Amino acid sequence: MSEYTEASRAGEADEALRDAQAAVVAGQVHQAMTDGTLTFSDLPPDEAARVLAELPPAEDLETATVPTSVRLPVPVHKRLRAYAEDHGTTASTLIRQWVEQMLAVPDRPISLADAVRALSTLPAQDQDQGRRAA
C-alpha cells in the first residue's frame, strides 16, 4: 500500500470521526433546545446564577440607562459641549432630553426644523404689542 493511500485512508477516518462527533453534538444541541435547557454563557451555572442575581429588578429597567454611541461632526460636538457647559449640564443629559422630547410627540406633520424656521419669521411678542398700542 502506498503512503498516499494510507494518508488518504487516515484522512477519511479523521473526517468520518469529525462527522460522527458533529452528529452527536447536533443531537445534544437539539435535545437541549427541545428541553429548554440550552443556555448561552461562558460562565459555569453557579457563576451565571450569581451574575443574574446581581441584575437590577425588572421594575428598575424603566429608569436604567444604556450607553449609546452617537457620531457627531467635530464642529457639532464642540457646539453641543459649549451649549451644555453654558446651561450647567452635560452633553449626555442634553441628548437624552432632546431624544425624549422628540419621542414624546407621536406624529409630526412637519419637521422640527421647518417649525423653527416658520416661527422665526414671526415678529417678536414685544414688537407686536408695540404695533397694537400705536
The grid coordinates of residue 47 equal: 457563576
Confidence of residue 73 (pLDDT cuts 50, 70, 90): very high
Residues 78 and 105 in one domain: yes
The total number of structural domains that make up the chain: 2
Helices 91-104 + 74-86 axis angle, to 10: 100
| Domain that includes residue 117, residue range | 66-133
Under a CB-based contact definition with an 8 Å cutoff, are residues 79 and 87 in contact? no
Residues 8 and 49 in one domain: yes
Per the model's pLDDT, the better-predicted residue between 25 and 58 turns out to be 25
Give the percent of the chain with pLDDT over 90. Answer: 25
Residues 41 and 75 in one domain: no
Residues 38 and 54 in one domain: yes
